[in-house]
Structure 1
Amino acid sequence: FKATLVHGAYSPGSLILIRNKHDEGSLSKEHDCYLGPFEVICQTRNGAYIIKELDGIIFKQHIAAFRVIFYIARSPEYISEIMEKLAEDELSSGTDFWISESSEEFSAYKSD
């Protein structure tokens, strides 16, 4: 395989998968090992990630770096089409997201 799992710093906008921690004690093969894909918003000073779903919903909890891996798409064109459509929807709804650097908090606001 050309693409291998690489752990490292994920830049904002990167697509990632999250390790399903509810499956760690289970011996069942039917559970998903990873959840996602999700988009990285930023990395906190402690190394955890603030992420959002592809439809723009931001996670309440920060995700530990050891649970995150890159998402390797089988069809990158399809993912880019989805991302473009979501960006257009955000622009048409007038909702913007901002992150406060000092407090590492995020919020959504309605632009006028």
Structure 2
Amino acid sequence: DIDSIREKVLKSRFQSIKQFEQMFKNRIKDYNFAPGSLVLVRNTRVEKELNRKTKPCYLGPMLVIRRTKGGSYMLAELDGSISKLRYAAFRLLPYHVHSHISVPVTSIMGFSDKALECMEGIEEEELEGNEPDKEDYE
């Protein structure tokens, strides 16, 4: 008796998942931005302000440097300055340009992959509350 109830519950759960995916298939987007692609960042500070109608909804375009282990993105301005902030994937939208030019990120930033990994590690240490080593800044 319990096994039949368990099977019915599992069946209804899977059916509910399929129904949800079918209903919202046009709204659920899973972008996986490659390094070097241009994105727009949703300006979440504006959402709480009273005069938000006149403020820009999106910031950018910004350049994707890399995706971190946690799923957030390291971004840089078009002038090459790297942002200290990490941006969640749900805040990013692809920026559609008229002509697409692909340039390796390391040539734009002047940093090697090892240096970018070090920068990512410093950010994770600060989030955990640990002080980064002085060697990281030399």
Tell me which stretches of 4 or more aligned residues in structure 1 moved more than 4 Å. none
Identity of aligned residues (%): 39
Aligned: 1:15 with 2:15: no
Work out which structure has the larger RCO, using CA pairs closer than 8 Å and 6 or more positions apart in sequence.
Answer: 1
Aligned Cα root-mean-square deviation (Å): 3.1
Distance apart, 1:97 and its partner CA:
1.2
1:65 aligned to which of 73, 89, 111: 89
Determine which structure has more spread, i.e. the larger CA radius of gyration: 2
SS in structure 1 of the partner of residue 54 of structure 2: coil
The residue type equivalent to 1:31 in the other structure is K
Higher relative helix content: 2
Q: Counterpart of 1:109? A: none
| Aligned pairs for 1:1-112 within 5 A | 6-27=29-50, 28-73=52-97, 76-77=98-99, 80=101, 96-100=110-114, 101=117, 104-105=120-121
Number of residues of Structure 1 aligned to a counterpart in Structure 2: 91
Could you tell me how far 1:102 is from its partner in structure 2?
A: 7.0
Structure 2 unaligned segments of length 5 or more: list them.
1-28, 123-138
Output the TM-score relative to the length of structure 2. Answer: 0.54
TM-score in terms of structure 1 length: 0.65
Cα distance change, pair 10–36 in 1 and its aligned pair in 2 (3 A): same
Deviation string, structure 1 residues 37-62 (Cα, Å, up to 9, x no partner): 00000000100000101110000011
Structure ranking higher in strand proportion:
1
